[in-house]
Amino acid sequence: MGCKCKLTAVLILIGAAYVYIKLKRAPLEVPVIEEKWWATGPPREEDPTVRPFKINVPKEVIADLKRRLDTALPLQPPLEGVNQNYGINGELLGNIVDHWKTKYDWNKQQEFLNQFPQFQTKIQGLNIHFIHAKPKTVPQGVEVLPLLLIHGWPGSVREFYEIIPILTTPQKGRNFVFEVIAPSLPGYGFSDAAVRPGLNQAQIAQLFNKLMKRLKFDRFYAQGGDWGSAVSHDMAILYPENVIALHRNFCFAYEITNWKAYVGMYFPSLFFSEKEAAKIYPLSDAFNFIMLESGYLHIQATKPDTVGVALRESPVGLAAYIIEKFITWTDPQWKDLPDGGLTQKYTYDKLLDNVMIYWVTRSITTSARLYAEANSKSYRSLPLDKLPINVPAGCIRFSNELLYSSEVLLREQHPNLIHLSDAEGGHFAALEVPEVLAQDIIEFVGKVRTLPPKTNSKEL
């Protein structure tokens, strides 16, 4: 009992000291992000041209892919009864590869991927690729709002092909509809990669803010999951005069709220409802899950180029590396299923579309480097994880998301959190449950548009 009392006293003192230091510390200032040239050679005058773009993969690239698939080594037989618990099962992967070789039609899928207008434009030396989809018809009295959609890893703009038609179609009872701008992250898919270190999520926020301005959108809505959540987070802090409001489907509390989670281990009722405490604690469960699912992160944050060698060489290896995430990140229970649960929410064609974007652009190594950049001293020295998001914010928490943040923690970092919802689904929400995510975005923006002018003085 005496030890427990001492521990309680120590925790109270730590909490009190933290609060005292936080109150006494000078307010942090929003950093200014240095503008850098990311292409080869010295900086040159920027070409502001926005050029139409179509995916047109050379036949030689597809022929080379077929050769590699046909000559791939036999897959390692899985251990008995492990399903997906050792990573993607060789039998499941074999079925996917067989579909790739015999049923997947790239010509048909390339036509599908070209259904939306796409463009490229150079920003700070890099060709940035983006989809720009507008409503086909706009009824009288309906406003068209710009919405920036940002994907993550190991995803691509392919995640948005089912949600874009919903967002660009006027909804009954709504006086607004979206035109969607969905860029490929630098180093992903059809966007150029940097030639020198430093292109972290804050620098990407700068690029994408410039992209929106180049498209004549000085004010816009932003939405993201995974890396898209991190980039849009930084955009809302760095450019609040441009970001009208922020919606995310991978919301998490940053460093400024950590102490509450630790103190809550012993006094959960101080901060959390009983329902939320049950999701947060024991922290060991969350820690064990993250350790189980984050091996890739440690590799990519430290040695992205090493793992990239193997993944650029083998399409089968690339498919295994990427598609495995669509199993456990959609539903961790799927790892106990022989088929990985994949066809419950996806099709092999959808999953292979995403893999193909990485393969035909040879972008797996450059995409992985973002983890190293986010873990670099140059990014960690920025106080962005310690600053609040002051623009109107909304979050949808999916039941199988990798991390869970309570309302208390979210509100501390989002003082203008006006929307919080919960839904069934996983990490790749735009691809898995596009209707659910789209309706949540629409509901959030509807709330933003009813805010008083002092809260959102330049509302569209």
One-character DSSP codes across 80-93 = TT-TTBTBS-HHHH
Give the span between the Cα atoms of 448 and 233, in whole angstroms: 17
Give the span between the Cα atoms of 352 and 109, in whole angstroms: 10
Report yes or no: 309 and 76 within 8 Å, Cβ to Cβ: no
Report yes or no: 75 and 93 within 8 Å, Cβ to Cβ: yes
Give the span between the Cα atoms of 356 and 315, in whole angstroms: 9
All residues at 6 or more sequence positions from 358 whose CB lies less than 8 Å from its CB, including other chains? 154, 156, 188, 189, 318, 322, 364, 367
DSSP annotation of 412? H
Residues serving a catalytic function are: 226, 371, 427
Give the span between the Cα atoms of 230 and 385, in whole angstroms: 10
Nearest-5° Cα angle at 181, 177 to 186: 160
Report yes or no: 121 and 49 within 8 Å, Cβ to Cβ: yes
Is residue 238 classed as helix, strand or coil in its secondary structure?
A: helix
